[in-house]
Amino acid sequence: MTCPESETNDHEMGQCDRIGAGRLLSVSALLSDGPPTEAGKPMVAVTVPSLSIQESHGETLFNDNCASCHGVNAAGQYGVAPPLVHVIYEPNHHGDMSFQMAASRGVRQHHWQFGNMPPIPNVSENDVINIVAYVRGLQRANGIH
């Protein structure tokens, strides 16, 4: 049996294998059309709503304690840390307590490949309540409920 040039001859099955060629194509499509992956670039586009007083207070605390990793507007940073404006962190999957735990105990790498998050001892429980209000406000404005 003879196969076209781009296909390999699978002698056992007596069929031409198109799967290999298909895989190659999709990999090159990913490389050329994928999102920008330079370290430090935001990972998602975030629409910023008008913030309540509590949310603005949370924004300041977030910028001082979290944005160095999670990025401005919690949009994440390639090579550093994930966006918190992300469906993974919607309230039903990561409730407010998971933010308290993250700040007080740190987070072991599990959803991403950025390594562990260290504990953030500078923020109080009350600070984290305000940070969560800010992050939830950003999430809602971006369709994450």
Residues that bind ligand HEC in the complex, under the rule CB under 6 A: 65-66, 68-70, 81-82, 94, 98-99, 102-103, 107, 109-112, 114-115, 117-118, 120, 123, 131
Nearest residue (CB) to ligand HEC, 8 versus 122: 122
Pairing of strands 8-10, 15-17: antiparallel
Q: Report the helix count and the strand count for the chain, using DSSP H and E.
A: 5, 2
Nearest-approach distance from CB 48 to ligand HEC, in angstroms = 17
CB of 52 to ligand HEC, least distance (A): 18
- Indicate the helix (H) or strand (E) that contains 8: strand 8-10
Which residue's CB is nearer to ligand HEC, number 22 or number 118? 118
Whole-number Å distance between alpha carbons of 65 and 76: 14
The CB-of-59 to ligand HEC minimum distance in angstroms stands at 12
Give 70 or 136: the residue with its C-beta nearer to ligand HEC.
70
Q: Are 119 and 80 in contact (CB under 8 A)?
A: no
Q: Which one, 48 or 101, has the nearer CB to ligand HEC? A: 101
Instruction: Tell me how far, at minimum, the Cβ of 55 lies from ligand HEC, in Å.
Output: 14
The 8 Å CB, 24+ separation contacts for 2-10 are: none
Can you name the residues that pair with 8 across neighbouring β-strands? 17
